[in-house]
Structure 1
């Protein structure tokens, strides 16, 4: 049995991205004294009460599970009391979803160690990968740092770097970092517990990455193409990129009414020049929001170029390729652009 088995660890995490780290710590031989995760939640249209991905994996592994939405207040103090009784060497945190108060930070002998998916001090907060993709950052990564009362401010033990490629969604990047970061966490935890790890203070200008909401997913076709693609990819799959499709309607237009609108989810985009022969407007420059429909691809016109849409999900339907979706659209259908034609060419 691994020599790591003598170390007792609490693992705190909730979403899918935390599961590889739990597996890595178990695989490294650490004794997982308990798993702390958020309570079961109502999921899907039928609102089925469902355990978190981490809770489901912990149950498969036969590990004790603590469920708590927060570690403050009366319920939080009760949970902290149960944690104190575990006689922990350390606690590992990966996207648990609640702050740890000062009293809790002092309980494990080596404190709480957090895996964060950014190159700290950049993108402190709940949505580091999403913001990095939206900002068109050249690079992201992961850090293992000592948790303290400040928001992702603690000294860093280890880090890894990863380049960001045009067209990658935040979901794909995060899934990749979840695996590589899990190995980083397990190796760093071993070094911490054997006394060979050194933590360095964070250096550089910090930036914040707060949780995104539905409004952040709106795609404004009047922005530059690179920014439009980054917005789509950065908010895919969460909170979801979406645009308003204006359905062509001659009678409505003649009466001066606004064309009917449909909300459509956009699942991935690639900044790409319009292939020769694809442009389907005979005269003049197309306005932002226009859809160039080719045989095998659909390009969205932006302020300074186009992006190729990868997948589209109409309301109430399953995702489909953008080309298949566009075949059924009437002529003149386009996405609404927030900006006017006069401001469409301004910078992001």
Structure 2
């Protein structure tokens, strides 16, 4: 098929590569170069970089407006495929390719419609993660589904690790759906079940409530890592939690937020059993091993986070 592909972050790259190996990609639509790093150097999106490596035409646009719609319409593509582009496809662009647009979404729809499905699923403690390919419609992630697939994700995976795994499975699923559409055998079915929403995360979503049970604390850490990042406060200053895991069974019982350190580990009390914190970043300092940080704190007397 002759396709137009829209995507921006690294999680969209496996799908682009899978489709480029099997179909004609008329153009790749992505967000404009963005300033990255301390020096704010303008850098192409991961999808733009991959498209250029593949020798594909790239259309960079911050919005899918009338100008972008005209450029895409001129491609005469049969199908549009979108993966985390970062913008809304509206009419008349929605109907511009002959067969419309399909979207790879990183959840088992209709659960977690929205911008942060994997992060919200992890925070919510979902036992199952997955991907779905559906027909794009004006309503948010509400179109008929061509295919869904559950994906095995390790119990300790943070959001970035989970997304990488889902991106690979999603690429193969999307390729299968596009092949079915090309052959005329693909069938989409209405979504079944009660929808839940997955709005974009804010900095506040990363705040740890140490009075919550360990499973909720750890689920939130996983869901907000690496962005927007798990954090707490110590003496009114923000402390980032960069690495954490459930404490071993022989860890001491601690009141919520209370710290206990050893030469190799730092434990923080929750509403149930402690969390082992392995890496932190204090305000105004670089990232460091939690045990090293604790050695500078241990003479300060009892230390409680969230204060």
Q: Report the TM-score range of the alignment, normalised by the length of the smaller protein.
A: over 0.9
Structure 1: where are the runs of 5+ without partners? 1-6, 247-260, 280-284, 339-348
Q: 1:70 deviation in Å?
A: 1.4
Note if contact 2:254-2:268 (Cα within 8 Å) is conserved in structure 1: no
Match of 1:271 in 2: 246
SS in 2 for 1:121: coil
SS in 2 for 1:86: coil
Alpha-carbon distance in structure 2 between the residues aligned to 1:274 and 1:320: 25
TM-score, normalised by the number of residues in structure 1: 0.83
SS in 2 for 1:175: helix
Q: 1:229-268 counterparts in 2 under 5 A? A: 229-246=218-235, 261-268=236-243
SS in 1 for 2:156: coil
Deviation string 1:304-324 (CA, Å, 9 cap, x unpaired) is 111122322334444333333
Alpha-carbon distance in structure 2 between the residues aligned to 1:118 and 1:214: 22
Whether 1:122 aligns to 2:122 is no
Alpha-carbon distance in structure 1 between the residues aligned to 2:92 and 2:224: 35
Alpha-carbon distance in structure 1 between the residues aligned to 2:161 and 2:90: 32
Whether 1:301 aligns to 2:269 is yes
Match of 1:346 in 2: none
Whether 1:89 aligns to 2:78 is yes
SS in 1 for 2:149: strand
Deviation string 1:19-58 (CA, Å, 9 cap, x unpaired) is 111111112x211110001111122222221111111111
Whether 1:150 aligns to 2:139 is yes
Alpha-carbon distance in structure 2 between the residues aligned to 1:228 and 1:10: 41
Count of residue correspondences: 306
| Alignment match of 2:257 (pick from 289, 297, 311) | 289
Q: 1:123-138 counterparts in 2 under 5 A? A: 123-138=112-127
Structure 2: where are the runs of 5+ without partners? none
Match of 2:9 in 1: 15
Moved over 6 A (4+): none
SS in 1 for 2:204: helix
Q: 1:181 deviation in Å?
A: 0.8
Note if contact 2:151-2:169 (Cα within 8 Å) is conserved in structure 1: no
Alpha-carbon distance in structure 1 between the residues aligned to 2:25 and 2:216: 43
Note if contact 1:221-1:335 (Cα within 8 Å) is conserved in structure 2: no
Alpha-carbon distance in structure 1 between the residues aligned to 2:127 and 2:152: 6
Note if contact 2:7-2:86 (Cα within 8 Å) is conserved in structure 1: yes
Q: 1:15 deviation in Å?
A: 0.7
| Alignment match of 1:44 (pick from 26, 33, 37) | 37
Match of 2:168 in 1: 179
Alpha-carbon distance in structure 1 between the residues aligned to 2:165 and 2:293: 29
Alpha-carbon distance in structure 2 between the residues aligned to 1:229 and 1:99: 33
Note closer, same or farther for the CA distance 1:299–1:193 as it changes in structure 2 (3 Å cut): same
Deviation string 1:104-143 (CA, Å, 9 cap, x unpaired) is 1111111101000000000000000000000111111000
TM-score, normalised by the number of residues in structure 2: 0.94
Whether 1:336 aligns to 2:305 is yes
Alpha-carbon distance in structure 1 between the residues aligned to 2:304 and 2:3: 51
Q: 1:167 deviation in Å?
A: 2.4
Q: 1:239 deviation in Å?
A: 1.1
SS in 2 for 1:45: coil
Match of 2:203 in 1: 214
| Alignment match of 1:31 (pick from 24, 37, 56) | 24
Alpha-carbon distance in structure 2 between the residues aligned to 1:335 and 1:85: 61
SS in 1 for 2:298: coil
Whether 1:59 aligns to 2:52 is yes
Alpha-carbon distance in structure 2 between the residues aligned to 1:194 and 1:95: 26
Q: 1:238 deviation in Å?
A: 1.1
